[in-house]
């Protein structure tokens, strides 16, 4: 499997005729493959997702030819993609239970990596997109990710006005390269990224399960504490997450340096959570963090603080 190409965060927004701009979707990154009469979905870490999204597997199987596509699986809450709603599917591996969940999903395709055995990753993005539109019969749960030419700032303003997550800017003539690249850039309307769960606090009052998650990011090989997250949980999430954390219990803190939180319990740093927040404080803590869900498509050791970089064009 080809490791996916990843975007770099930037706070320098621009318009440029040599770039294309797509809506940033808040879902699960997925590589889809069709070979002969079979089709398979994999996360960006290589986990097979066929049981989680069986209707998408069927949709790929109904296509013609052999291909490898890149895209994002999403669930909607109104007209916004919702990672929180998608959580109801992410935790399921039984295809019958997944389809009975009542959460419809769509696969938004934005790149074509291989077609009829031909490796297309060296071609310019515009050419790959042209071939993608011609190769796939879009409809039902398979959607083409529309893009806008040149006007990145206009699309970004529209995205933030509509409450979307942001915009992905892509250099139009760039090949597809695995890993993080400055040829793909993220314009984000909201603060949101992955964090590693290193512990939790006791519940208080009528709360059950736990009070707050203790989360951090890796820096120089050490897990650095980034704060506690006490909102964004329903009753079911509190119960399930406490059970998973109990299975990872450890006697010592995984964080570098002292973390002084009353009633703290420590866990092995293996679970990765998606957290929304308003901003980072000067001392490296999250302001107004909110739990959005667990991620299974990123290894804990790969979680670092996302820092905006200057856009190179």
Give the catalytic positions in this structure.
24
Q: Give the integer Cα–Cα distance in Å for 280 and 58.
A: 42
Q: Which residues of 171-207 are buried (b: 16+ CB within 10 A; e: fewer)?
A: bbebebeeeebebbbbbbbebbbbbbbbbbbebeeee
Structure tokens at 256: 């570098």
β-strand pairing of 166-171 with 16-24 = antiparallel
> Hey, is 240 helix, strand or coil?
helix
| Of residues 284, 311, 168, the one with CA closest to residue 219 | 284
DSSP 8-state code for residue 80: E
């Amino acid at each position: 499997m080809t490791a996916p190409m990843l975007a770099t965060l930037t706070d320098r927004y621009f318009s440029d005729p040599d770039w294309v701009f797509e809506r940033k979707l808040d879902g699960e990154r997925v590589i889809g493959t069709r070979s002969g009469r079979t089709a398979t979905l994999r996360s960006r870490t290589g986990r097979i997702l066929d049981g989680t999204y069986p209707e998408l597997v069927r949709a790929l199987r109904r296509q013609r030819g052999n291909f490898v596509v890149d895209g994002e699986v999403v669930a909607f809450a109104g007209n916004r993609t919702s990672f929180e709603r998608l959580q109801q599917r992410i935790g399921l591996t039984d295809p019958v239970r997944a389809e009975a969940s009542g959460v419809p999903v769509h696969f938004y395709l934005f790149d074509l990596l291989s077609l009829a055995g031909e490796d297309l990753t060296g071609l310019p993005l515009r050419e790959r997109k042209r071939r993608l539109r011609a190769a796939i019969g879009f409809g039902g749960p398979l959607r083409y990710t529309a893009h806008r030419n040149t006007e990145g700032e206009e699309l970004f303003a529209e995205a933030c006005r509509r409450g979307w997550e942001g915009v992905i800017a892509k250099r139009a003539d760039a090949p597809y390269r695995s890993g993080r690249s400055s040829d793909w850039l993220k314009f984000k309307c909201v603060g949101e990224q992955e964090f590693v769960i290193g512990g939790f606090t006791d519940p208080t009052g009528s709360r059950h399960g736990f009070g707050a998650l203790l989360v951090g990011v890796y820096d120089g090989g050490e897990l650095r504490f980034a704060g506690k997250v006490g909102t964004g949980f329903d009753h079911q999430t509190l119960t399930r997450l406490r059970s998973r954390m109990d299975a990872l219990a450890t006697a010592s803190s995984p964080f570098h340096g002292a973390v002084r939180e009353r009633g703290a319990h420590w866990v092995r740093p293996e679970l990765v959570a998606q957290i929304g927040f308003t901003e980072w404080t000067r001392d490296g803590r999250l302001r107004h963090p909110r739990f959005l869900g667990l991620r299974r498509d990123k290894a804990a050791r790969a979680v670092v603080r996302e820092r905006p970089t200057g856009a190179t064009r």
